[in-house]
Structures are given as C-alpha cells and as structure tokens.
Amino acid sequence: MKRTNIWFKIFIVIGVVLFVSACNPTRKLAKSYAAESADWGLLVLFPDQVFKINDRYDRDEGKLTGLSEAAKHDSLLAQSLFLSHINDSTILFHFRNAYWDALSRYDVKLFSEADFDRFYERDSLSWIANVAQIEIQEFITDYEDVESFFGLQYSQIVPLNGINFAVWTEINALNDESNENKVYFTDQNLFDYHEGQFSYDFFTGGVNYYYHVDTLDIADIEEFASFMGRLSAAYTYDQLLNNQLTKNTKPDSEPVHYRYDPFSKRLFQTEFDRFIELDE
C-alpha cells in the first residue's frame, strides 16, 4: 500500500511539472518561434583561414629572440606537434560541411555567398551569420591522477597534449537598423586519450603507476573540426530563437535560454550549453 502511494505521488509531481512547463508563456512563445522558423532566412558566411597559436609550455622561447613577429609565428608553428601539419582548407572543409549539414536539419531557409541576390530580396525575417574567426590553439596540460592506499595519498602527473578549437560568430538581422551587431563565442578542448592506474605491491610495500597515452593525430583534429561545425550551427539556430524571444518579452522577465532539438522537435532549457555573448 505504501509503495502504491509513493508511485502515485511521483506521478502527481511529474504531472504538475509537465503542466506548469506546458503553461509557461515564455516556453509557449519559444515553441511558436520554432514553428515559424520555416519562413526564416539565414545567410551563412565562413572565414578563409584558420588562426593557429602554439601555447605549449615546452616551446623554446630562446629561438624567438630578435625575430620579427612574422618570423616568431613561423618559429612557433615549427615547434608545434600538430599546428605545422594542419591544413587550413581541410579544417574549413570539415567545419563548413558539418555546419551546413547540421543547420539543414532545422526548419530555416539557408543561403550561401552565391545566393546574395536572392537573400537580399527577402522581406521576411532574415539574418546573416558570419563565422568571423576560427582559432586552433595547441597546448600541454598536466593531468593529475590521485589514489589512496592505507590512508596515504599518491599522485602522478601525466602531461597531455591539448587542442582548443574556438569560434567567433557575428549575427546580424537583415534590414533592421535597430538591431545591433552581436558577437558570440564558443570553444571546446580535445586531449590525448589517457588510461592510468596505481598498483600496490604487497611484497615491497611500494606503489607503482602504469599508464597509456593515445596521442592525438591530425585525423582527430579534423574530426573535431566537424564536431565544432555541428555545435556552432546548433548554437546559431538557438541564438536566433532566443534573440526573438528576448525581443518580444518584457524587459523585466526572468532570462531563460532554450535549446531546440530538430529531431524530437522539443525545447529544453540550458544555462551553459550555448553561445557566450561578447561585449564589443
């Protein structure tokens, strides 16, 4: 009988949460914009180069003495493990194709640079999403593995190669002089794959550490570029949706950011899984 009451209470709570969510006016407005987005137009522009930064702590700063800025840049690239082997065109190809493919899953009319004329003839809601800059930074991070045996704590530092992939996107509304230019940012890190474990030797009383590192390669970075293309595309659509929401809700309304799943056609709230809006 008690178990039945518990389940009954759980269903009541779930029902109340769903009812409140369904009746939330902000959420209902966001759903209406998602439904209307089939009439939206989006012109997407991509950069023609990738900025590369070598931030490894094992780089030789002495080799940079007396060099011009251009020569310093070349020297740092030469000291990198990955950057000197990264082809801009290949990275942009993976990013652009994944971005375009991801956005095509949303109900929005897409335009490329070749469609300038058709895009500017539109009289319905339209935006320009300019992927203004892509930056790849190479670095080393010291991963610390920790474990305790018989009240004593042991630690081991394992240096791992890291790649930071950063994207800056400008979003402008077409034919809307009141809409200020907004710049948005997102980035993600990719690391060497690491497996490690401590082992206590009962014969000697010593503790050993065994580990394996699967080092990143260029194919991993190219695949990461595709991931960042998909992520940036999704964030772009979400930002259009939320910008419309902000524009048409009361200024004193509690700020809520939604993400939209084009497969399930559902909205969900998020706090961190989104673009970061930058102050110009």
Domain contains 183: yes
Contact of 67 with 201, CB cutoff 8 Å: no
Domain contains 92: yes
| Identity of the highest mean pLDDT range in 106-110, 122-126, 194-198 | 194-198
pLDDT digits (tens, 9 = 90+) for 251-265: 767 778 999 999 998
Contact of 91 with 82, CB cutoff 8 Å: no
Helix (H) or strand (E) holding 155: strand 152-173
Domain contains 97: yes
Burial class (CB in 10 A: 0-12, 13-18, 19+), 212: exposed
Domain contains 19: no
Tokens at 267, concatenated: 């909205």
Domain contains 189: yes
Range of the domain at 91: 24-278
Q: Which candidate, 257, 273, 234, places its Cα nearest to that of 108?
A: 234
Tokens at 80, concatenated: 């990198």
The amino acid at 233: A
Q: Which candidate, 50, 30, 2, 248, places its Cα nearest to that of 168?
A: 50
Domain contains 17: no
pLDDT digits (tens, 9 = 90+) for 35-91: 777 789 999 999 999 999 999 988 777 777 777 777 777 788 888 999 999 999 999
Query: What is this structure's pTM?
Result: 0.84
Q: Which candidate, 231, 75, 93, places its Cα nearest to that of 165?
A: 231
